Amino acid sequence: MYPIFFDPTMIILIPAIIFSLYAQLKVQSTFERYSRVASSSGLTGAEVAERLLRKEGIYDVRIERTPNTLGDHYDPRSKVLRLSPGVYNSTSLAALGVAAHEAGHAIQHDVGYFPLELRSSLVPVAQFGSMAAFPILLIGILLGSPMLAKLGVYAFVAVVLFQLVTLPVEYNASSRAIALLQAGGFVSGQEAEHTKRVLDAAALTYLAAALAAVLSLLRLLLISRMFGGEE
């Protein structure tokens, strides 16, 4: 019925693959569009991030330029906010939105935002689950051990939890970013709308990752049952 190397359970992942492709295209097109629109403030992404942090009384977070394109992130362990060249030195609305979003993560860390703390605690478990889930499941199938196969499925649950917890963390950082940019007078009302479009597009990638994780878990469950994972 199927080609010898065809895995029918891969069909489960098709919606996630399609949505992920859409999310990536949406992010790229939206960022490129608003990276060509300069903000009225004339400030760079790095300058805006620094001012937002200082405004919130945060002085122990360093802002660094990373050479990685789209490598913008906040590292809570070292308290470093890293911005890519297209954000660090740019005065565009896209750059301000991304910089403010990452500053939002630093503010979350400073105020002890629970979902961020929960996500940080899940990192090592999720990393283990991502690497070990399928090998454990496969070994369980090869050894005819339903319990071991189930253990592989359970290991991947941590990945799903991590991706689901990521959603409120990212959406909260974006809402903080827009509010802070407007409150600080860094963007006008129309500019805030455009900046929000950039952050909304970026949020699609996190939705895509969460969908992929959930569907991957369903796929592992199906594989486990197909090969006797149900006792």
**Chain segment 78-127, per-residue pLDDT in tens:** 999 999 999 999 999 999 999 999 999 999 999 999 999 999 999 999 99
* Angle, helices 189-226/146-183, rounded to nearest 10 degrees: 180
pLDDT at 2: 47
Question: So where are the chain's domains?
Answer: 8-226
d(CA 80, CA 78) in angstroms, rounded, equals: 5
Catalogue the active-site residues. 102
User: pTM, whole model, 2 decimals?
Assistant: 0.88
Q: Give SS3 for 79.
A: coil
d(CA 95, CA 99) in angstroms, rounded, equals: 6
**Chain segment 25-80, per-residue pLDDT in tens:** 999 999 999 999 999 999 999 999 999 999 999 999 999 999 988 789 999 999 99
- What lies within 8 Å, CB to CB, of 198 at 6+ separation is 30, 31, 34, 93, 94, 97, 98
For residue 10, what are the CA distances in angstroms to 17, 112, 134, 168?
10, 39, 14, 28
Is the CB of residue 76 less than 8 Å from the CB of residue 116? yes
